[in-house]
Amino acid sequence: MPKNVLRQREEFDAFMEEYKQHYPMDRMEDENEVGLPAKGISMIIKEVLPEMRIANESRELFAACCVEFVKYVARGAQHVSGHDQRKTIYHEHVLKALQLLQFPPDYAEAADSVLGECKVAAEKRLKRKNSRLDKCGIPEEELYLMQQQLIQQAREQDPDQLRAQAAVQQLLPEQQ
């Protein structure tokens, strides 16, 4: 192995030992531990290394590293939000944490850019949802009145018929 790779490996091992002292990683074995979706991890790996096949163990290690990274930044953001006397972590706290954790400025800029893209995507989803209501051609107030009328009609049904329907509903789950 080249000397520079060995030196980098030794530096990384020293960093991880120090990090483990402050934040033990044995909690990763806990069933309640938060993880990242395997599909998302696979997509990231394919995007970065499209021509390589990556072993499942390596994928799991990569996912664990991603979770630790998120926790590391979240701890920093929690510290910043606590300093601002806030209980909720906002994106400004995350950006400030990235700066305090000595990430390069372009890293925070990229995170801010991704936040903007997510906001645009959320707005598009909301508009698409609202457009479905618009396409039906009936105003929302009128739809609400129609719904209320249907509910009232259901309440006014013959009580014997309602009891018969309830009896049928009770029998159906038993048959399954």
pLDDT digits (tens, 9 = 90+) for 2-24: 676 566 667 666 766 776 677 66
Q: Enumerate residues 6+ apart whose C-beta is below 8 A from 70.
A: 36
Q: Is pTM, for the whole model, over 0.75?
A: no
Average pLDDT, the chain: 82
Residues 46 and 121 in one domain: yes
Residues 170 and 83 in one domain: no
Residues 155 and 143 in one domain: yes
Give me the domain span that covers residue 174: 139-176
CA atoms within 13 A on the CB side of 24: 4
pLDDT digits (tens, 9 = 90+) for 85-127: 999 999 999 999 999 888 999 999 999 999 999 999 998 888 7
Residues 80 and 110 in one domain: yes
**CATH number of the domain that residue 30 is part of:** 1.10.20.10
Q: Which of 87, 86, 103 is nearest to 95 (CA)?
A: 103
Look at the chain and report how many structural domains it folds into. Answer: 2
Under a CB-based contact definition with an 8 Å cutoff, are residues 100 and 76 in contact?
A: yes
d(CA 71, CA 67): 6
Identify the band that residue 50 occupies on the pLDDT scale cut at 50, 70 and 90: very high
Under a CB-based contact definition with an 8 Å cutoff, are residues 100 and 80 in contact?
A: yes
Q: Estimate to the nearest angstrom the gap between the alpha carbon of 109 and the chain centroid.
A: 21
Residues 101 and 172 in one domain: no
Residues 35 and 7 in one domain: yes
Under a CB-based contact definition with an 8 Å cutoff, are residues 60 and 33 in contact?
A: no
